Amino acid sequence: MGKKILLSGVKPTGRVHIGNYFGAMKQFVDFQDDYESRIMIADYHALTTVQDASVLKQDILDLVASYLAIGLDPNRVIIFQQSAVAEHLELAWIFNCLTTMPYLARAHAYKDALAKNKEVNVGVFTYPLLMAADILIYDPDVVPVGQDQKQHVEIARDVAEKFNRLFGEAFKLPEPFIPEDVKTVTGLDGQKMSKSYGNTIPLFANEKDLKRLVMTIVTDSKGETEPKNPEECHVFALHKLFSQVDLPELKRRYVEGKIGYRESKEILAHNMNQYLKPMREKYESLLSRPEEIKTVLAAGSERAQVIARAKLERVRELVGVKL
Ligand code: AMP
């Protein structure tokens, strides 16, 4: 039996942060030997919010460099650009025609945008259907994502079921993969780490910026000798990701009132830097070779297109537009 298939992606909307890494991207690397993986640069999704060509171009290159720097191997994994595979859009149109407005109006991302009085473009509204197409066109078994994307994978499953029922079996129903301990990585203010909240720690921040950002993590006002509950501390939440070896000792010092927040943050900044430095160096070196990045992306996109084209042929036949 062949390997199971994995599909996921990230939007090129600014520098990736440690929430993206632990919530999703690290799983791409951990699973690259066990699954046949297809990892996307979701640039048409980014277009719902980015309206500056030079920014988007650079963000696309940065994201490919990020994928390579964290250890994705383009010989084992298809790294591709969503916009280079136009079949996604064609399939998304077919899904538009299967889905009702009230159903899509229940999507969290759309409701959040409305609640914040943002001007909601049609792309934001139909985003889940383009994402359903991104996923379903590659027949994945598993889609590793953070908790905030769980609903989108569920929408993809609903759409797949509806299509299969109406037109005949075409799509596999994918499962989201969301590890419990990293389903929502918190940011500097204790909310979900998110570019739109301005509370992120960029994955490739330099040592000085890492330290500066870590020192701004919000804590309560307990003094150095007061006992503290590590489970309520946003600094400790990040120690769980970066300070594995020191964790029992840190926990003991928190509970016994033997560590202040300043020292805890200093230890965290040090451990983060140790952890991230090798990836950061690789990232910086890759960014100085944009042609190499473009070559990787073009080769991956070509491979993705072959798969997507075959799937769409079958779909066109099933819906009745292929004569
Ligand atoms: P994006 O492309 O920005 O939507 O995010 C890429 C991936 O990172 C998605 O799978 C998200 O669910 C995941 N992600 C983003 N922020 C976090 C976070 N704070 N904690 C865990 N996963 C996250």
Residue 66: closest CA among 130, 1, 21, 109: 21
pLDDT confidence of residue 41: 98
Q: Is the pLDDT of residue 319 over 80?
A: yes
Residues 136, 7: Cα–Cα separation, whole Å: 9
**What mean pLDDT, rounded, does the chain reach?**
97
Q: State which ligand 1 atom lies nearest to the alpha carbon of 187.
A: 19
Q: Is 94 in the pocket of ligand 1 (CB under 6 A)?
A: no
Q: Say how many Å lie between the CA of residue 146 and the centre of ligand 1.
A: 5
Q: Is 176 in the pocket of ligand 1 (CB under 6 A)?
A: no
pLDDT tens figures, 145-170? 999 999 999 999 999 999 999 999 99
* Mean pLDDT on 232-238: 97
| Residue of the CA atom closest to atom 6 of ligand 1 | 10
Distance 16 CA to ligand 1 centre (A): 9
Q: What is the pLDDT of residue 119?
A: 85
Looking at the chain, the whole-number percentage of residues with pLDDT higher than 70 is 100
Q: How far is the CA of 121 from the centre of ligand 1 (A)?
A: 21
More confident residue, 244 or 93: 93
| Structural contact between residues 210 and 261, judged by C-beta atoms closer than 8 angstroms | no
Name the helix (H) or strand (E) containing 38: strand 35-41
Rounded to the nearest whole angstrom, what is the distance from the C-alpha of residue 259 to the centroid of ligand 1? 31
Q: Enter the DSSP assignment of 17.
A: B
Cα atoms in the Cβ-side hemisphere of radius 13 Å centred on 30: 10
CA gap 272, 124 in Å, rounded: 34
Pairing of strands 77-81, 4-10: unpaired
Query: Quick count: other Cβ atoms within 10 Å of Cβ 322?
Result: 11
105 CA → ligand 1 middle, Å: 21
Confidence of residue 270 (pLDDT cuts 50, 70, 90): very high
Task: Assign 200 a pLDDT band (cuts: 50, 70, 90).
Answer: very high
- The stretch 77-100 carries a mean pLDDT of 98
Query: 128: Cβ below 6 Å to ligand 1?
Result: no
How does pLDDT run across 100-135, given as a tens digit for each residue? Answer: 999 999 999 899 889 987 789 999 999 999 999 999
Task: Give the list of residues 6+ apart from residue 167 with CB closer than 8 angstroms, or none.
Answer: 315, 318, 319
Phi, psi of 291 (to 5 degrees): -65, -40
Atom of ligand 1 nearest to the CA of 192: 19
Give the model confidence (pLDDT) of 288-311 as tens digits.
Answer: 999 999 999 999 999 999 999 999
1 has a pLDDT exceeding 90: no
**SS3 for 167?**
helix
- Please give the pLDDT value at position 292: 96
